[in-house]
Amino acid sequence: MPSPTLEDVQTEAEHLARTSRNADEFMKALVTLIHERLLKYNWVGFYMLEPNAQPPMLALGAFQGAMTPHTRIPLNQGICGAAASSGKTVVVDDVANDPRYLACSLETKSEIVAPVFVRGKVAGELDIDSHFPAAFSLQDQAFVEHCAALVGKKLESHSA
């Protein structure tokens, strides 16, 4: 079977968003879909802001890939903290050259983190690591941001 395109996987992600019963179910299904279908997406997971934590803290949610030592990340640490605190997608082509990087797997070479917004505020983020350097092009960034937006919409539609 030929490798699926990002458009193929995006269509599948949109289908999952419509058919999942809630945001948790959708996030679990989405990390599995992305990890299985896109071979250079070697670790795929969500970090979500803990409600009412002081200082603010990201907690590991649904993920696929190797277990990570970073199950909770403060907003002033890591690529993850940078994306959540700035509200902007962060793409790192070579993690070895980024002093912010918190190592999850020795095999990881590049990373992308896209914030998940709920009613305009950062609620968490979609984090993806690759074993390949500079794995994430502008097309990948658009795809990852679209997936993060689907999760934001799902969270909005299931919370008062």
115 φ, ψ (degrees, to nearest 5): -65, 150
Q: How far apart are CA 34 and CA 58, in angstroms?
A: 21
Find the shortest distance in angstroms from Cβ 140 to ligand SME.
Answer: 16
78 vs 115 by CB, closer to ligand SME: 78
| Number of Cβ atoms within 10 Å of the Cβ of 13 | 21
Residue whose CB is nearest to ligand SME in the complex, by number? 78
Helix (H, G, I), strand (E, B) or coil at 104: coil
Q: Which two tokens stand for residue 40?
A: 């250079």
State which residue, 73 or 148, has the beta carbon closest to ligand SME: 73
- Select 17 or 108, whichever has its Cβ closest to ligand SME: 108
Residues 56-115 that bind ligand SME (CB under 6 A): 68, 70, 73, 78-80, 101-102, 104, 111
Say how many residues touch ligand SME, by CB under 6 A.
13
* One-letter amino acid of 116: V
Tokens 């994430």 correspond to 136
Our measurement of the distance from residue 63's CA atom to the centroid of its chain's CA atoms, rounded to an integer in Å, reads 9
Residues 21-60 that bind ligand SME (CB under 6 A): 43
Give the nearer residue to ligand SME in terms of CB position, either 65 or 152.
65
Q: Which of 130, 136, 122, 143 is nearest to 104 (CA)?
A: 130
Which residues of this chain interact with ligand SME, rule CB under 6 A?
43, 68, 70, 73, 78-80, 101-102, 104, 111, 127, 129
